[in-house]
Amino acid sequence: GNSCWRVRGRTSAVCERGTPVRCGQAIRLTHLGTGRNLHSHHFASPLSGNQEVSAFGEAGEGDYLDDWMVVCSGTYWVRDGEVRFQHASTDVFLSVTGEQYGRPIHGQKEVHGMAASSQNNYWKVMEGIFMQPSEVFKAEQYHAEL
């Protein structure tokens, strides 16, 4: 349950529920448990020294540093496809490597931003809730399983 994120439109944008996410689209990821957005800025991460990624805001409200570009192949982000998230303001890729925290979150890996794309920045949806697309998008030919 602590790994669930809500996909939302970029800051100050309206995103209709069930609308497919396009490759190249800016989104926000809001943590369901805390209501905070995935956020990054020009500060070093504590373990690796890469760019810090943190949770920011209250009840899904934050700022433009919460926006991430969906980097994928094809037209839409699909359920079983690999995806990268590139920070819209600083261009780093959301990444995880081998650095692990000690206390108080023993064993938790550091998630950070890396300047270059690599095998450490691929992500895949493991579970989620399928939202039925609106009538406008049903007419298009695409794989709508996210």
Residue type, 19: T
Is cis: bond before 20, omega within 30 of 0?
Answer: no
Nearest CA among 140, 114, 113, 123 for reference residue 38: 113
Give, as one character, the DSSP assignment of residue 119. Answer: G
Segment 13-63, tens digit of pLDDT: 877 878 889 999 999 999 999 999 999 999 999 889 999 999 999 988 899
Per-residue confidence band for 133, with pLDDT thresholds at 50, 70 and 90: low
φ and ψ at residue 12, rounded to 5 degrees = 65, 25
Phi, psi for 23 (deg, rounded to 5): -65, 130
Q: What is the band of 1 on the pLDDT scale with cuts at 50, 70, 90?
A: low
Phi/psi of residue 71, each to 5°?
A: -110, 110
Question: For the segment 50-65, what is each residue's pLDDT rounded down to a tens digit?
Answer: 999 999 999 888 999 9
Domains and CATH numbers, the chain: 5-145 (2.80.10.50)
pTM of the model: 0.84
- Tokens 């579970």 locate to 127
Q: How far apart are CA 40 and CA 90, in angstroms?
A: 8
CA distance 57 to 103: 24
Read off the pLDDT of residues 68-126 as tens digits, 9 standing for 90 and up. 999 999 999 988 899 999 999 999 999 998 887 877 678 888 999 999 999 999 999 88
